[in-house]
C-alpha cells in the first residue's frame, strides 16, 4: 500500500472502530520508539481503546473523520471535540509521512472553522508535536506525568483559528 493509492476522507462509522483500535496499537508500537523509551511505549500502548470504547467515544458528539484507502480500509483517523480539543490523530505506520495525515488534519480544521471553533488544542506526543507545529500549532508547555508508575511526557499545543471573542 504505497502513497499512490487513493485516499478518501469520510465521516467515522461504527464499523471503523476495530481498525482504529488496531491502528492505535500499531502506531504506538512502531512509531512511538522514535520519541520514547521501551517502557514508555509499553505503558502508552496499554492505554489502547478497545473497538467498543472507540465506537462509544466517537459517537459522543465530537466530529470524527477517517482516511480510507481504495478498499475503504481505515488508514488514519482524527477527531475534534465540540470545544476544539483534538483527542486522537493517528495513522497506520505505513502511511505515516505520506501526506495522508495532513489531508485528514486539513479536513478536520476546515470543519472546526465551519463550526466557528476559536482554537484547536491537544496533548501531542513527540511525533505529533512536530507534525502539528507544521500545521501552525504552537507549544504551550511540556507536560511530564506518570502512567502506571512510568514517567512519560507530551506537549500541550494549540492553534488559534480566530481572534478570541
pLDDT digits (tens, 9 = 90+) for 1-10: 444 568 999 9
Average pLDDT over residues 66-88: 97
Q: What percent of the chain has pLDDT over 70?
A: 97
CA distance 77 to 92: 9
User: What's the pLDDT tens digit per position in 119-133?
Assistant: 999 999 998 999 999
Is residue 159 included in any domain, yes or no? no
Average pLDDT over residues 99-118: 96
pLDDT at residue 163, as a whole number? 83
CA distance 103 to 94: 16
User: What's the pLDDT tens digit per position in 20-39?
Assistant: 999 999 999 999 999 999 99
Average pLDDT over residues 100-112: 97
Position 95 pLDDT exceeds 90: yes
CA distance 74 to 82: 23
Q: Is 3 exposed, middle or buried (0-12, 13-18, 19+ CB in 10 A)?
A: exposed
Domain that holds residue 56: 8-118
Question: Where are the strands (E) in 15-96, listed by range?
Answer: 63-68, 74-80, 85-86, 89-91
pLDDT at residue 165, as a whole number? 79
Average of per-residue pLDDT values in the chain: 94
Nearest to 76 by CA among 27, 15, 144: 27
Is residue 162 included in any domain, yes or no? no
Is residue 109 included in any domain, yes or no? yes
CA distance 16 to 12: 7
Instruction: Please say whether the beta carbons of 92 and 19 come within 8 A.
Output: no
Average pLDDT over residues 93-111: 95
CATH number at residue 108: 3.40.630.30
Task: Kindly state the cell numbers that stand for 39.
Answer: 517502557
DSSP state of 49: P
Is residue 30 included in any domain, yes or no? yes
How many domains are there within the chain?
Answer: 1
Q: What is the pTM of this model?
A: 0.93
Position 59 pLDDT exceeds 50: yes
Is residue 62 included in any domain, yes or no? yes
Average pLDDT over residues 56-68: 97
CA distance 155 to 144: 9
Is residue 56 included in any domain, yes or no? yes
Amino acid at each position: 500500500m504505497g502513497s499512490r493509492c487513493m485516499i478518501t476522507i469520510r465521516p467515522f462509522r461504527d464499523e471503523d472502530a476495530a481498525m482504529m483500535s488496531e491502528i492505535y496499537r500499531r502506531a504506538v508500537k512502531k512509531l512511538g520508539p522514535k520519541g520514547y523509551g521501551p517502557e514508555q511505549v509499553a505503558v502508552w500502548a496499554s492505554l489502547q481503546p478497545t473497538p467498543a470504547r472507540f465506537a462509544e467515544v466517537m459517537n459522543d458528539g465530537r466530529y470524527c473523520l477517517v482516511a480510507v484507502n481504495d478498499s475503504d480500509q481505515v488508514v488514519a483517523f482524527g477527531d475534534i471535540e465540540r470545544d476544539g480539543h483534538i483527542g486522537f490523530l493517528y495513522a497506520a505506520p505505513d502511511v505515516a509521512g505520506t501526506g495522508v495525515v495532513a489531508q485528514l488534519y486539513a479536513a478536520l480544521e476546515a470543519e472546526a472553522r465551519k463550526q466557528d471553533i476559536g482554537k484547536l488544542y491537544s496533548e501531542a506526543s513527540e511525533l505529533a508535536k512536530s507534525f502539528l507545529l507544521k500545521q501552525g500549532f504552537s507549544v504551550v508547555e511540556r507536560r511530564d506525568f506518570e502512567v502506571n508508575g512510568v514517567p512519560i511526557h507530551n506537549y500541550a499545543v494549540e492553534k488559534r483559528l480566530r481572534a478570541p471573542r
